[in-house]
Amino acid sequence: MREPNRNRGSIFVTGTDTGVGKTVLSLLLMRFFLMRGRTPFYLKPIQTGCVDAHDRDSDARFIYEHVPALAGKDPGDSVVYCFRSPKAPWFASGDEAEAIDPRKIAAYAERKRSAHSHIVLEGAGGLFVPVTEDVLMIDLIALLNARPILAARAGLGTINHTILAVEALKARRLDPLGIVFIDSGPTETPEQMVAENIEAVERFSGVKVAGTIGRIERWSEPGQECYRPLARLFGKR
C-alpha cells in the first residue's frame, strides 16, 4: 500500500514524552530555515499550562523572543488554543468549557502554509496525548498532512521510548523525517551511551538519528553544532 502524500513544507515536531525538547527543536528549525533564506512559520496548535500566548510559560513567546526575524510580532498569531491547566488538551479544554475543533486547527495551518515556505508545528506532549475525547495527537499529525520529526532524550531509557514512538507512527502510515536526540539534562550523557542508543534506535526502528543537540547556554545564539542534525535532515531540500 502506498504512503499518503504529505506536504513536505509541513513539519510536526513531536516527542517521546512531555518536556523532552520539542520547543528547543522547533526554535532551531525556525532559525535554521531563516538562515537559509526561507520563510518558516511557527505554529503551536494547542498550548496548555499558561494564561495566554504572551505568558512566560508560553512556548510561542519563547520562540518569538529568540528568533530575531520575529521581533515585535505577536506570538498570539502562533497559537490556536491556549488553556491554563497543565494537562492533556482534552482535560485542559474541559476545565474551561471550550471544545477543541481539530478542523479549525487544520484550516488555520492551511492559511499559513500558503504564505510560508515551511510550517513548523509543535505538538503538546507525546503521540498518544488526547486532544479531544476521540482524537489523539498522532491523529492531529495526519489531519494536518504533516511529516513528523521525533524529539527524544539522549540518555538512559530512550531506546524503548523512541522505538515505541516510531512503531506508533509507522502503524498510522506516518513516515518520520528523522529522529533528533536532545541532551539537556543536568549532566551530559556519556558519549558511549549516546552512540549505543543511536545504534539501537536505528537498527530496530529503521529510522536515522540525525544527531544530538546538547545544552544551549544562550538561546539567542545557539552554537553552529546545534544545526548539524538539521543540516543532515534538510541538506538537499
- Catalytic residue numbers read 44
Q: Indicate the SS3 state at residue 40.
A: strand
Q: Indicate the SS3 state at residue 6.
A: coil
Provide φ and ψ at 110, rounded to 5°: -65, -40
Q: How far apart are CA 25 and CA 169, in angstroms?
A: 19
Task: Find where cell 550523557 sits.
Answer: 189
- List the one residue out of 43, 60, 24 whose CA is nearest residue 154: 24
* 53 to 10, 46, 94, 123: CA distances (angstroms): 22, 10, 19, 15
Provide φ and ψ at 175, rounded to 5°: -85, 115
Q: How far apart are CA 23 and CA 77, in angstroms?
A: 17
Handedness of CA 42, 43, 49, 50 (dihedral sign): positive
Cell, residue 14:
513531536
